[in-house]
Structure 1
Amino acid sequence: MQNTPAETEISFIEVGAAEAARKIAMRVRHADKPTDGQPTLVWLGGYRSDMTGTKAVEVERYAMERGASCVRFDYSGHGSSGGAFTDGTISRWLEESLAVIDQAAPGRVVLIGSSMGGWIALRVIQELRRRGDGNRLAGLVLIAPAPDFTAELIEPNLTEAERASLLERGYFEEPSEYSPEPNIFTRALIEDGRANRVLDGTISTGCPVHILQGMRDPDVPYSHALRLMEHLPADDVVMTLIRDGDHRLSREEDIAKMKQAIGTMLA
């Protein structure tokens, strides 16, 4: 994989009002020769990830190869966006995602959600359908999706010390495999996660869905992706289980599978 030929310029939009206002950084790249009806690819990153990651950049490259536009952005508290990371919740990041999509991708879209971004993508779809914009959805690609991870993967495994830290300090920390800085999980994030659960009933996307999941994922077990499939009974869902795949799925062979999945949404 090569570097992006020319880095897309960062632009900003403001989301929220008064003390909740924050500047959200995004990179919007339009196809040189756009094709009528071609959906825009929208990248939704994971927890503590930003839009300069390997998969995000490769999604933009692929969009340009296929004559599609692409939007990638940073949630508040991530990358080049404003706001404090510790203020982040699923509802807050969902609000930002919808604002970016409305501003930068007002037509049809293919959502590509990685890890927590998969949860955000499913909530974006629910909100678009709720307001009557479900016809804008051309496809959904989920990479190691982590819907409801706060309630399903974190809360059941909290130690007594972590529970005490949540009560007394409002957050707890745990070592990260991907950064020298620890992961921080706040009480607000966990409580808000309960209000944004999607694995509590049928999920209707109204579009084709492709899930890519590593079977050696130490963060989100592949059983979680299988459970997600059970909540998508009405959709055309394809799942690719990658036997030796980890959580990041950023190897060249993983990127190739991601692009192939996206390609089926652009055909």
Structure 2
Amino acid sequence: MNQSPATRLEVGGNAIAVRHQPGSPPGLVWLGGYRSDMMGTKAVALAEWAAARGRAMTRHDYSGHGESGGAFTDGTISRWLEESLAVFRHFTEGPQILVGSSMGAWIALRMVQELNRAGEGDRVGGLLLLAPAPDFTKELMEPELTDAHRHDLERQGFIEEPSEYSDEPNIYTKKLFDDGRRNLVLEGIIDTHCPVHIIQGMADPDVPYAHAMRLVEHLPADDVTLSLVRDGDHRLSRPQDIEMILRVAEALVERAA
């Protein structure tokens, strides 16, 4: 599809890049993963699907990601949450389906909590969570930290790990770990007050499918569907994965309409 230049929204001193397609609600709001951007396969496929149906679609890059300003190493869950809420409130109207991929699912769950707290919970018509990684710093990373990792976090404030998806290593800062503990969602009941559909690959090397099953246990009050893709990886970007994602997105939009 023809990609127009991104709009900029100033949030917390950073210029956040946003691509908003006007259309009728319920719309889609894309929330990407750690070090990903809004031009990835899944985000673009959803944008094309929404455009073909006259649905609104909003996506943005967190600070330090993609086309947005700011330093990646300054990023935290709280900062990226603040940016995501600002984009949501500035660009969208009516009910929206939050589509969170990996870390973006953590952001989506925190957005629901903050919107409910602010009396805006009816703005979320549904959640589509792809390979969700809520609380990944505490639950998935901290148990794997070596003594050398912990030493580096204390001494230099960050650790580097090879990335399967980039030539550049992944950087995880001490402030990311510390801030992550202030945003944990797997500590009690998560009331989303909307339908939730989770798609999780069983061959995901980054987020074990047991993590998605644990998330379901924290969503007892809501209509939750968990779809396990036996040979699905973390990206969930194969044609058959995209087809499933679009099918679920359409069902959630129809329910929220």
Give the TM-score taking structure 1 as reference length. Answer: 0.94
Which of 1, 5, 13 is the aligned partner of 1:9?
5
Partner secondary structure for residue 254 of structure 1: helix
From 57, 74, 77, the equivalent of 1:70 is 57
CA distance in 2, matches of 1:8, 1:109: 22
Q: CA deviation at 1:111?
A: 0.2
Conservation of the 8 A alpha-carbon contact between 1:8 and 1:29? no
Which whole-Å CA distance do the structure 2 matches of 1:59 and 1:53 have between them? 10
Question: Is residue 236 of structure 2 the alignment partner of residue 249 of structure 1?
Answer: yes
Aligned residues: 254
Residue 8 of structure 1 and its aligned partner are, at CA, apart by: 3.0
Alignment root-mean-square deviation, CA: 0.7
Preserved contact between residue 112 and residue 121 of structure 2 (Cα < 8 Å): yes
Written as runs of structure 1 = structure 2, the 5 A alignment for 1:1-267 is: 4=1, 6-16=2-12, 21-31=13-23, 34=24, 38-267=25-254
CA distance in 1 between partners of 2:185 and 2:52 (Å): 34
Q: Identity over the aligned pairs, expressed in percent?
A: 60
Q: Any conservation in 1 of the 2:27–2:253 contact (CA below 8 Å)?
A: no
Segments of 5+ residues of structure 2 without an aligned counterpart are none
Distance between the aligned counterparts of 2:138 and 2:115, measured in 1?
Answer: 24
In 2, distance between residues paired with 1:51 and 1:265?
A: 21
SS in 1 for 2:205: coil
Residue 140 of structure 1 aligns to a residue whose secondary structure is strand
Note the C-alpha offset of 1:67: 2.1
Three-state SS of the structure 1 residue aligned to 2:68 is coil
C-alpha distance in 2, partners of 1:70/1:175?
A: 33
Q: Which runs of 5+ in 1 are unaligned?
A: none
Q: Does structure 2 conserve the Cα–Cα contact (< 8 Å) formed by 1:9 and 1:28?
A: no
